[in-house]
Structure 1
Amino acid sequence: MRYEKGRKDASRGRIMEVATQRFRSDGIAASGLASIMSDAGLTNGAFYPHFPSKAALVRECVAAALEGQSGQIAGVLASGGLETAIDAYLSAQHRDNPGTGCASAALLPEIA
C-alpha cells in the first residue's frame, strides 16, 4: 500500500524525534530500534523505508540535534547575551532533562 508523501515525511519526522530524544536520554547503544519504533507509534518494518540502518538514523539525528543546538545558542545569544546563554545551559531544567538538553553533552561522548 502506497501512502502520500506527507504521511511518509511525518512518519520519518516522528522516528527522528523519538530517536533523538531516546539517544540523548538513554544513549545510542541502549536505544533499540524496536522501542524507538514502538514509541513513534509505528511497526518495526516501517523503519527501513526511511533509513537503511540504525547507523544512518544516528547520523541524521546527531546532525539535526547539533544544527538545532547551534540555532538555539544563536537565538539565546541574540536575545539575552552570553550571561543568559550560560545561565540557561547551567540551569537545573537543562541538567535534569538530557532528552531535550545539550546534544553535544549527551551524544558526542558515545560517537567520538
Structure 2
Amino acid sequence: MSIEIPVKLLHEAEGHIVSIEMKTRESFRGKLIEAEDNMNCRLEGVIQTQKDGSTARLNNVYLRGSSITYFVFPEMLRNAPMLKNLDKPTKGQGIGMGIGRQAQRQAKGMSYLFG
C-alpha cells in the first residue's frame, strides 16, 4: 500500500508552523514535530483557540488524526515536489470527460440530429 499525496504533504510540513482545526471547532497553531500516516500529529509551541475565542499557550499537544477537520499548511509547500506532476496526466490516464469509445461512436452517429 502506498502513501497518498495528502499524507506525503503532511510529512513534508514537519518542522513548519501549521494550523489545525478539530471537529470540536478548537484550533491549534504550532510547529509540527511529527506526523503519522493516520494523520496523528504532535505540535510544539502551540496556541490553542477555543470555539468561544479564548486562547491558551501549550508546550506540547498530541492530536488524534480522526478528529481533525482540516490543516492549514505554509505557503511555501505549494512548491512541494509531490505536487509538480498533478497537472500532467501519466501514460494511460485520460484527460477527457470519461466517456468510453462506444459512447463516442454513438454520439458521432447521432450528431446529425443535433447539429
TM-score normalised over the length of structure 1: 0.26
Q: Which has the higher helix share?
A: 1
Q: Which one has the bigger strand percentage?
A: 2
TM-score, with structure 2 as normaliser = 0.25
Q: Tell which has more relative contact order, 1 or 2 (C-alpha 8 A, sep 6+).
A: 1
